[in-house]
Amino acid sequence: IFFGNNGEDPSRLTARIHTDNHIALSSPTWPIMNFTYILMRKETLRAGADCKQVQETVAFWYWFWHSSVVRRLVQKHLFYNLPIEVRDVVVERFVRDIRCAGKPSWS
């Protein structure tokens, strides 16, 4: 599966499944691939939430996407990390879009 690391513009946030059977059969790929989505309120709070909780949530995801511990665990369990150039686009958009009380939740 390619996540922008095949020469496509990574800011498009697209993925293409590799169709070369020889490569797919000779690598530790899962027989089923899927995508994970994170749904976040961009500018509103759930009932009972405050901006501190939003900031902590954004900080957690920032850590998750940059942590060497997470990267090692992902590889250990034969999953795949986002390529760095795609991760950077995702993180930049995430921290830019998540706001609280009209202000960025990340600085």
**What pLDDT digit, counting tens, does each position of 17-75 carry?**
555 544 544 455 545 555 677 888 888 888 899 999 999 999 999 999 999 999 999 88
Question: Alpha-carbon distance 68 to 33, whole Å?
Answer: 23
The pLDDT score that the predictor gives to residue 11 is: 67
**What pLDDT digit, counting tens, does each position of 1-16 carry?**
555 556 667 666 666 5
Is the full-model pTM beyond 0.75?
Answer: no
> Given a cut of 60, is residue 107 above it in pLDDT?
yes
Query: 1: which residues sit within 8 A by CB, 6+ positions away?
Result: 15, 16, 17, 18, 33, 80
The pLDDT score that the predictor gives to residue 13 is: 61
DSSP class of residue 22? Answer: H
